[in-house]
A and B are shown apart, each in its own frame.
Chain A
Amino acid sequence: MAYIGLLISFLWMAGVLAGAFYFSPSAEILGETSRIIYFHVPVAWICVLAFCMSFWFSISYLRTRRAELDVNAEVTARLGLWFCILATITGAVFAKSAWGMYWNWDPREVSITVILLVYMAYFGLRSSVPDPERRMKLSAVYSIMAFVLMPFLIFVVPWIYSSLHPDTIINVQGENKLLDGRMRMVFFFSLAGFTFVYLWMYRISARIEKLVRRKEGWNV
């Protein structure tokens, strides 16, 4: 079963790659560089998804105090951290070619960087609490507090920095003009594909992590 799922997602991602480079046309204004949206946006989406999941696992951990929920929270946060770094890099590459600079203080750039900082702080905290029960409790508390205060950031950043992001330029003229039918199809296929891949990575890492803890004598 697991292999079939793996095969499907492998083929799916191969399809996404082909779609991104052959099937889909390039965008009007942005040209060939626009193809990065099939990778950059899904990666950024995974980053947000992982952030929400680690919030959810943290809440469940504080309620039940079951160690495996802490493992889940840690694993999803670690994947989130990697996807966050990828999103920042792909974003910077695109920014360089589209706007001429790697860093533009665009609202999304700022927001994703703050999420990156939260993840780094989260792991900084985890590594500096030696007592395991305290570590689980404190990192859950931090992750919840960061999540609860995140809407303020999302709300405030556009006030302070004006946006260069494509969709805001595009949305001025109403519906997504830039994405034609084929582009949108590839885009959503890619979004789904990346979500699959992320969930698959999450499941494997959580299983590995739980095996490691069980070997250490934990009851997870």
Chain B
Amino acid sequence: MNSRLDKISLEAVEKRYGPHLIFSGVSFEVGKGDSVCFWGPNGSGKSTLLKITAGLISASAGKVKYASRTKTGPPAMYKNTIGVVAPDVLMYEELTPEENLEFTMNARGFKRDSEYEASLFARFDLEDARHEQVGNFSSGMKQKFHIISALAHKPSALLFDEPSSYMDLSGREQISRIINEMKSEIILIIATNDPEEKDWCNEYVELCN
């Protein structure tokens, strides 16, 4: 069994690209039911901070800790308990959504829950596109599928980077409905410039240049 993620904490996290400092001294702690927004102007490092939090890139200094009830560890230990949507976390365009999910679930070592997956596709009106190649999708449809694939393994934390980009009004509504339903059960982190997305969160971390 996958132990459930209860807490994500950052301690004095700092990121440099070579000699250039992006940000420093970022510390916060989020637990189940909390929702945090990374807020700040372009180039302030929101996406970078989100990727550091997700364990996709390492911090130049400081620590990222994930904790369940029993143990604390680096993000890599809990990678199967988080769902990430970001502009550079993409799915395979030559494959269909179905095949993509088969890959991600098998690679994680999980059994698929076909009922749950079907309900996700239904909620985003993508049932008809399930067996078409992702490469033929419109940007909005791709984004919807990225969200579906971030939810497919029932993660206990969601890390979203501008989740509703490319989406029309109905798409935005679908996301906000899903997020509001899940919010109390999961950890939610959103990096965004969009006031609407910011409103989904209760707290925020502000970054400046």
Contacts and interface: CB of A to CB of B under 8 A. Distances in A.
A175 interface: no
Interface string B7-27: 000000000011110000000
Contacts, number: 16
Interface residues of B, number: 4
Interface residues of A, number: 8
Interface in B20-79: 20
A74 to B, nearest CB: 14
A218 interface: yes
Q: Is the interface of A mostly helix, strand, loop or mixed?
A: loop
B20 A133 contact: no
Nearest to A214: B19
Interface in A186-217: 213, 216-217
A131 B19 contact: no
A217 B17 CA distance: 11
B110 to A, nearest CB: 31
Contacts of A213: 19
A133 B58 CA distance: 11
A35 B19 CA distance: 49
Interface in A154-210: none
Given A132-B17, A132-B18, A217-B18, 10 more contacts: A131-B18, A132-B19, A133-B17, A133-B18, A216-B18, A216-B19, A217-B20, A218-B18, A218-B19, A219-B19
Interface of A: 131-133, 213, 216-219
Going nearest first, the 7 A-B pairs with the smallest beta carbon separation are A217-B19, A132-B18, A218-B19, A216-B19, A131-B17, A218-B18, A133-B18
7 contacts: A131-B18, A132-B17, A216-B18, A216-B19, A217-B18, A218-B19, A219-B19
